[in-house]
Structure 1
Amino acid sequence: MACYNVMSVLTNKRVENVNEMQRVLTESGCIIKTRLGIHDAGEDFCSNEGLIILHLVGSEKEIESLEQKLNEIPGIKAQNSRLCSD
């Protein structure tokens, strides 16, 4: 049975929180297998809202710690989902 940890990270203060959020993600870099960032951007515009999808490979304790640290940053909501095949 294969299991996958996929964390969604939503921010509504992307520009203000980028340094703190990046620091936390860098600290957990060894458990982040894939990272996908989505936000509206254009020639004259860069959205302050964004969504990051993380595929995580660490222990349950490491993943819970990352989720907690991200949720402590104002304007950020993180939620991990564990999906397993039958």
Structure 2
Amino acid sequence: METTIMALTIDPRSAHAPQVQTVLTKHGCIIKTRIGLHETSTDSCSERGLILLHINSDENKVKDLEKELLDVEGVNVKYMSL
């Protein structure tokens, strides 16, 4: 098993986040850590979201997760294995 760090952006976040959540829940057993970030201020909330994932799994499962995330409109994915 490898340790993988995956970053994904969602834009617009409010429109596509529910689909992303469904994919992440499906693959939840391989995700050790998840951090969600987006810009906020007192009068607005950014439509561009960033999620960082720490994944502990083999490369095939990471590629499956990547493919399902990329099938969601507005999502971009990059990852590196350590």
Q: TM-score, normalised by structure 2?
A: 0.91
One-letter amino acid of the counterpart of residue 57, structure 1? N
**Number of aligned positions between the proteins:** 82
2:82 paired with 1:75:
no
Across the aligned residues of Structure 1 and Structure 2, the Cα RMSD in angstroms comes to 1.5
In structure 1, distance between residues paired with 2:12 and 2:72 = 10
Gaps of at least 5 residues in structure 2 are none
Residue aligned with 2:45, SS: coil
Gaps of at least 5 residues in structure 1 are none
The percentage of counterpart residues that share the same residue type is: 36
Greater strand content: 2
> C-alpha offsets along residues 17-67 of structure 1, whole Å, 9 cap, x if unaligned?
011000000000000000011101233211110111100012211110000
**1:59-70 residue pairs with structure 2 within 5 A?**
59-70=58-69
Moved over 3 A (4+): none
Bigger Cα Rg: 1
Contact 2:10/2:17, CA 8 A, preserved across alignment: no
